[in-house]
Amino acid sequence: MSIGDFIRVAAACPITNVADIEFNLLNIKDCIDQSVSKNSKLIVFPELCITSYTCADLFEQKLLLDNSLAALEELCKYSKEKDILIAVGAPLTYNYCLYNCAFIIFEGQILGIVPKSFIPNYTEFYEKRWFTEGIGIIDKKVDLFFQKDIPFGTNLIFTAGNFRFGFEICEDLWVVIPPSSYLSLTGANIIGNLSASNEIVSKSEYRKELVRSQSGRCISSYIYASSGVFESSTDLVFSGDLLIGENGTLLNYNNRFQRENQIITSIVDVNKLNNERLRNVSFRDSSKLIPFKVLDIKFDFKNTDYVVFDRYVDKHPFVPSNEAQREIRCREIFNIQTSALAKRITHTGLKKAVIGISGGLDSTLALLVIVKTFKLLNISNENIVTVTMPGFGTTDRTYNNAVNLCKNLGTDFREINIVPACLQHFNDIDHPVEKHDVTYENVQARERTQILMDIANKEGGLLIGTGDLSELALGWATYNGDHMSMYGVNCSIPKTLVRYLVKYVAQKEMEGEVSSILMDILDTPVSPELLPKDANGNIAQKTEDIVGPYELHDFFLYNFIRYGSTPERILFLAKHAFENYYDEETLKKWLNIFIKRFFTQQFKRSALPDGPKVGTVSLSPRGDWRMPSDASYKLWQNRF
């Protein structure tokens, strides 16, 4: 696993006294030391923190400006051997104008100086009294008394291997087109914002939303550091808001209004960001709008070892961990499914739907989607033809749940035992009935599909498929059997989420006996029931005993498809996500099985019926996943 994929970054808010540069520098150094001790490779400080932000007309005092430069020299000396990129705010005089700047320091040198592009001069802000906007400043050089020819401009990017840093200052984030948008399009994947944003009611939440949305639009990490409570409170109060975002989410944020030096850190996943940019055509096309040529300033970290990998890795990436968010997600997906099916029903002009009901989760969810769809279209449930087709492995529990669910929902319920037809077919193809191989299983699946297709023809109905995303990823379906339908409502819903969708409907959409039946279905082991029952009449064929835990396969699928992760990276993440759940050898075993099955079963996905996309991962051959059926998996397997 390459450590080049991840880097720890920090946002800091030091204690400051207005115009007390010596005091401010002491606390800036303390924050740097804290960040270095946590193995952070970037620290972003607030705007003008060397002098403090609220100096007002003192910014016109030569003594303040000279001592600010002296503090920067001292900070450069202090940064030697620290192996951390420092973004610190201070004023700069250039061509008789004063600029509000981010000084980017590494290993004793100022690598570059970035001026604030947009100077606010409205409501409580009147920065143009002192500062000049940096818009249009590119490819300039600055000479300071302790260092010459320092790059100065808004077009600077600082590059160390895979990590490319860009910087903007406070108001720059709030404008129509922030400078970070252009910096991201020219390659920056980690953006720092040195800010001094005062507090008024609700502003904190808006700042969070700005950081989330800008990191999402730029497909970047965004580190935001704002001035703290020790700024002047003559008219304004500052809170020291620290935020670290990544591609539309907040990785970390602090408790505001603290009265000591404060830092927060997070591990940023640059591989994830770069892969997302690679697949996003609109992001690439937007690069045509860049108004300048970037100046790429290269430097090298000694290492990017984050020591402790404390980044949260969700073991169930398809399922929100927060219960309230999970309910919202389930409601949204259920609405997408029903809206999609309603469109297909109205388009075809059909008034009936046909579905096979096994008493398992997938067919139950599909039936619930049909029931709600028919309610939306004012079609009676009597037009839902539900067919249970017991076979060699059907247990009393699943059979009774199927029967009771259909009858309680008022559907046109039918029962067709497939055993006689399968026995006849075994005889026709000269297959011993006692030989419980793949032929034995697939004969049953195809017989069921044949029955359902023919009933759909006979009744003038639409056959609704029940297979889910996880089964399609693994090829856990019989080709031209349960693999086929006229419309598949579950085709982009992973198995780990199917369970929560059924639970949501049981608790929020249904009541009484139907709700009780649904809860029992939730407790039933996942099985195709294609092999005979055990001696006690219970399910003998449990899917997860054969192909592995669905929670692992859904985790593998998400990271493989969503972020193009290598097997080594997936294993690395899985070890952290499933720590104390699965050992490394178990993870390797099922990951190799996932890879082999995913590649060898593409031919099934290439012939899928239509079905709605509900999330970011879909395997539709007409949309998200176009893969040759004869692609080799050799490159991806047994790499660890």
Q: Which of 41, 76, 107, 116 is catalytic?
A: 116
Query: Residue 367's closest CA among 407, 315, 395, 331?
Result: 407
Query: Residue 142's closest CA among 86, 94, 88, 77?
Result: 94
Binding-site residue positions for deamido-NAD(+) = 442, 471, 476-479, 604
Distance, in Å, from the CA atom of 517 to the CA atom of 350, rounded to the nearest integer, reads 29
Helix count (H) and strand count (E) of the chain? 19, 20
What H or E segment, with its residue span, contains residue 570?
helix 567-577
- Supply the DSSP string of 273-293, one letter for each residue: HHHHHHH-HHHHHHGGG--S-
Binding-site residue positions for L-glutamine = 122, 197, 203
Q: Are 390 and 404 in contact (CB under 8 A)?
A: no
* 157, 303, 593, 595 from 589: Cα distances, Å: 43, 32, 6, 10
Binding-site residue positions = 122, 197, 203, 356-363, 442, 466, 471, 476-479, 604
Q: Which of 13, 76, 170, 422 is catalytic?
A: 170
Query: Residue 474's closest CA among 626, 562, 596, 365?
Result: 596
Binding-site residue positions for ATP = 356-363, 466
Q: Are 224 and 212 in contact (CB under 8 A)?
A: no
Q: What is the Cα Rg of the chain in Å?
A: 31
Structure tokens, 219: 């497909």
CA 615, 620, 624, 628 dihedral sign is positive
CA 239, 244, 250, 254 dihedral sign is negative
Q: Which of 31, 47, 447, 551 is catalytic?
A: 47
CA 106 to chain CA centroid, nearest Å = 32
The residue type of 283 is: F
Query: Residue 504's closest CA among 368, 602, 300?
Result: 368
| Per-residue exposure over 313-330, b if at least 16 CB sit within 10 Å of its own CB, e if not | bebbbbbbeeeeebbebb
Query: Residue 495's closest CA among 517, 454, 466, 536?
Result: 466
Question: Rounded to the nearest 5 degrees, what angle is found at the Cα of 342, between the Cα atoms of 341 and 345?
Answer: 85
Q: Are 376 and 338 in contact (CB under 8 A)?
A: yes
Residue 170 falls in the annotated catalytic set: yes
Q: CB under 8 Å to 260, separation ≥6 — which residues?
A: 15
Residue 97 falls in the annotated catalytic set: no
Active site positions, annotated: 47, 116, 170
